[in-house]
Amino acid sequence: MLMHNPPHPGEVLKELCIEPLGITVTDAAKGLGISRKTLSSILNGKAGISPEMAVRLSIAFNTSSESWLNQQSQYDLWQAEQHRNELHVTQLSAA
Amino acid sequence: MLMHNPPHPGEVLKELCIEPLGITVTDAAKGLGISRKTLSSILNGKAGISPEMAVRLSIAFNTSSESWLNQQSQYDLWQAEQHRNELHVTQLSAA
DNA sequence: GAGCCCTGTTACGTTATAGGTTACAATTCA
DNA sequence: TGAATTGTAACCTATAACGTAACAGGGCTC
């Protein structure tokens, strides 16, 4: 179970990939084969990392697509867990 | 890196949770607080497991929400990886 | 056979999100 | 000053996760 708020994957992408390489958002978007707006949205936490985007990132930065998508899942799941007690779900047992 | 086609999470849900308990899809849907159609779609591989659904499953079956969402991620990622060579992405390196 | 339950599925709707293009404003820098 | 960079807003499309209502078929039981 996750205990602390995981960072948005876009944050990690910016700090660990874009900034260290010293490349512009514009050039990174070109390399990724996506629009500058899409990358900007991700970097600023306005959009998530889709499965296809995870593959793109893995190619461009020679990383693991799993790590990117897992980061996104952890992030999404943490948000969902915040509303766990609002869900009307009952324990299920044998009939 | 995933090497083999992961099963659809709905398959796992059916075989490891619904069938062993001997409960009907209708009753399981009621317990989960979702419509029978939604559960049916998941069980038959027509829909994925959303973050919120992962939390519902974790409550109803006393399991880990992470495991459900991770299964879905693995499944989605495998699909995306099948088109890895169709993406126009270039390696990114220091400017 | 008649009735009932369970199931998958179709049709219709809403809502959210990823992605695109275009354009604008603000900033930085040569 | 002029060019580059960036975030963002407006507008579009496609996909997907939900819901309800309705239907058809299979199975079970009086």
Q: CA A17 to CA A47: how far, in whole Å?
A: 17
Q: CA A89 to CA B63: how far, in whole Å?
A: 13
Task: With a cut of 90, say whether residue B95 has pLDDT above it.
Answer: no
Nucleotide nearest to A36 (CA to C1'): D6
pTM: 0.95
**How confident is the prediction along chain A (95 residues), in pLDDT tens digits per residue?**
677 899 999 999 999 999 999 999 999 999 999 999 999 999 999 999 999 999 999 999 999 999 999 999 999 999 999 999 999 999 999 98
Q: What is the pLDDT of residue A52?
A: 98
Q: CA B86 to CA A40: how far, in whole Å?
A: 23
> Which residues of the protein are close to the nucleic strand C, CB under 7 angstroms?
A 33-35, 37-38, 42, 47-48, 50, 52-53; B 24-27, 36-37, 40-41, 43-44, 46
Protein-covered nucleotides of chain C (CB closer than 7 Å) are: 5-11, 17-23
> Quick check: B21 and A92 CB within 8 A?
yes
Mean pLDDT calculated for residue range B17-21: 97
Q: Are B72 and B48 in contact (CB under 8 A)?
A: yes
Q: CA A93 to CA B83: how far, in whole Å?
A: 41
Question: In terms of C-beta density within 10 A (0-12 exposed, 13-18 middle, 19 or more buried), how is residue A82 classed?
Answer: exposed
Q: What is the pLDDT of residue B67?
A: 98
Q: How many CB pairs under 8 A join A and B?
A: 132
Q: What is the pLDDT of residue A3?
A: 73
Task: With a cut of 90, say whether residue B3 has pLDDT above it.
Answer: no
* Domains of chain A by residue range: 9-77
Q: Rounded to a whole number, what is the distance in Å from the CA of A48 to chain B's nearest CA?
A: 13
Optimal mutation site among B19, B38, B50, B55, interface A, most CBs of chain A within 10 A: B55
Q: What is the pLDDT of residue B11?
A: 98
Q: What is the pLDDT of residue B71?
A: 98
Tell me whether A3 touches chain B (CB under 8 Å): no
Architecture of domain A9-77: Orthogonal Bundle (1.10)
Region of poorest pLDDT, from A21-25, A45-49, B1-5, B15-19: B1-5
pLDDT tens-digit readout, B31-48:
999 999 999 999 999 999
Q: CA B19 to CA B92: how far, in whole Å?
A: 48
